[in-house]
Amino acid sequence: MESKKNKIILSIVGVLLALLFLSPFYLVVVNSFKTMKGIFINTNALPFGEYFVLSNYPIAFERLDFLMAIKNSLTITIVSTVFIVLFSSMAAWVLVRTKTWYSNFIFMLFAAAMLIPFQSVMLPLVSLMGKLNFLNPPGLIFMYVGFGSSLSIILYHGFIKSVPLELEEAAVIDGCNQFQIYSIVVFPLLKPITVTVTILNVMWIWNDFLLPQLTINKPEWATIPLKMFFFFGQYSKQWHFALAGLLITMLPVIIFYFFAQKQIVKGVMAGSIK
Amino acid sequence: MKTSKLSFGLFVAPCLIAFLLVVIIPTFSGILMSFTDWNGIDANPNFVGLTNYVKAFTDDMVTTKFLTVEFQMPRFINVFLFTAEFAIVSVILINAIGFGLALLVTRGLKGSNILRSVFFIPNLIGGLILGFLWQFIFTKVFNHIGDTYGIEFLKGWLSTTGTGFWGLVIVLSWQMSGYMMIIYIAAIQNIPSSLFEAADLDGANFILKLKNIIVPLVAQASTVGLFLTLSNAFKLFDQNLALTNGGPYLSTQMLALNIYRTAFVMQDFGQGQAKAVIFLIAVSAITLTQMSISKKKEVEF
């Protein structure tokens, strides 16, 4: 048990650290409501008087093509994650249940690939996918499945090893085929690890910049990080627009975090223990 | 249970095909590419042997023209050393801060859950956006505070090599310590409570418990923590691009950005890929060494 005095000191330390961690957000928020001159005069003060404006937001919103960008980001993130969850759980399941040299070998291959940094395969990958004419969202989603499957299969593999076989055997006796066993019996049992896999993939794909930058060559398919990159390049001298834009792009994630906080923290914890 | 070869194939195929096409084939064709002088366009690149590798380590500052703009590239060896230095400093800082935060929020304080959420938030936001955000803080806010209170140290951040380095360290630490905190919380919560009860009976204070129970048992989890921070720091791209863009005077360009620029700005895919292969070897060697050292140090309980 902590003494009362200790608790008070620790609480104060905690609050101060929390304020320190949040201060960058405070600075973005207050300055995004100022005119350029307002930012120049004082970056730390609340927006006041003639320096207070709301107009940065509609302008940034429009110049970012925010609705289109968010639609693209959502489509790409959701479709990729659904495919990763579905395909990697299927693969992991048969890899666990088939005890042969090749199932072992395939699993080791997926695990070893965790060491390969994206930049080492980036150039040949882009040239190969360019030759196959497989770019933009369909190609991008395919690439996310390829890159996402390593970690996802490892996580599913670890979880499935602890799932008892009896239910599956019972399903075999009832006359289920492999696909029925997987979809009716196995997949529902994997829910806890599916939450983890989903969260880790969503966080990564939503924020990814380099792969979309290399594979999306039509402006109407730009994702949020991509749009932000071009927007910032254009407005880097006009911080009042740039900051409003930054805040708009951060907002979806922060709202999502409010709703799914418990799952996110649990997912990260489960993902880290493996 | 028996799985037929056909259904095994059908279940593994979607992931395996994507994985082979996206990871495995490019890994091998990348190694081949590193021995050529391919510029990204030519149909028939020439085989040039080890030239690209030799060049990577011997080239001086390179100046090249892209469209009408002159570009300069720093020496690869400097890029490598800068990245390694950055990785060492950030790995230590991030894990120390993450562990400290984990200790703080696992001591049964009121509002601990809110603190956890707050420390974790920076993780959710992409590196590119974080880099832009901090660019504002370092250049505008720091300058303003420096001017107002006459603190010279705060002025002109990101405009020197040193402040660029620490700027990158601060951004990555702010982003990743919350993630490490979660990993260390999981480890602390996994410690059997009987150990703490026994220590309480012996009248051990917090410092003793920290030294004799928490630190040795958490070392086990730090394998994952160190692996993640080390590989993230080594592979850093978005924050580097958005925060300093490699400047000033090319002094903060890290490996990933250097490879990208070599290929797409200098139009030298062969050279870029040789650097990428060196990068692959370095990242694998470092992370494998770290994992085997950490694993040896782990204590079973």
Find the mean pLDDT for residues B97-120: 93
For B177-236, what is each residue's pLDDT tens digit?
A: 999 999 999 899 988 989 888 998 888 888 898 888 898 888 877 888 888 899 899 999
DSSP H or E segment with residue A203:
helix A191-207
Residue A2 with chain B: CB contacts under 8 Å: 107-108
Q: Which domains does chain B have, with CATH numbers?
A: 59-296 (1.10.3720.10)
Angle (CA) B263 B268 B270, round 5°: 95
* pTM for this model (two decimals): 0.93
So where are chain A's domains? 4-53, 62-223+260-272
Residue B284, class by beta-carbon neighbours within 10 Å (0-12 exposed, 13-18 middle, 19+ buried)?
middle
CB B229 within 8 A of CB B94: yes
φ, ψ of residue A114 in degrees (nearest 5): -60, -25
Instruction: Select the residue of A97, A125, A239 nearest B136 (Cβ to Cβ).
Output: A239
Would an 8 Å CB–CB cutoff place A241 in contact with chain B? no
CATH architecture of A62-223+260-272: Orthogonal Bundle (1.10)
Residue A30 with chain B: CB contacts under 8 Å: none
Residue B299 has pLDDT above 80, yes or no: no
Residue B60 tokens read as 């001086």
Of the two residues B247 and B175, the one the predictor is more confident about is: B175
Nearest C-alpha of chain B: how many angstroms from A266? 9
Confidence of residue B93 (pLDDT cuts 50, 70, 90): very high
Say if residue A252 is preceded by a cis peptide, omega within 30 of 0. no
Residue B66 has pLDDT above 60, yes or no: no
Distance CA B282, CA A25 (A): 36
* Pairwise CB contact (< 8 Å): B14 & A94: no
ipTM, interface predicted TM-score of the complex: 0.93
Task: Give strand pairing partners of B72.
Answer: B63
Residue A247 tokens read as 């805040």
Cα four-point dihedral sign A156, A159, A165, A168:
negative
Q: Which value, to the nearest 10 degrees, does the dihedral of the CA atoms of residues B212, B213, B214, B215 take?
A: 40
* Pairwise CB contact (< 8 Å): A246 & B133: yes
Residue B63 has pLDDT above 70, yes or no: no
Q: Between residues 85 and 104 of chain A, which touch chain B (CB distance below 8 Å)?
A: 87-88, 90-91, 93-95, 97-98, 103
For A145-178, what is each residue's pLDDT tens digit?
A: 999 999 999 999 999 999 999 999 999 999 999 9
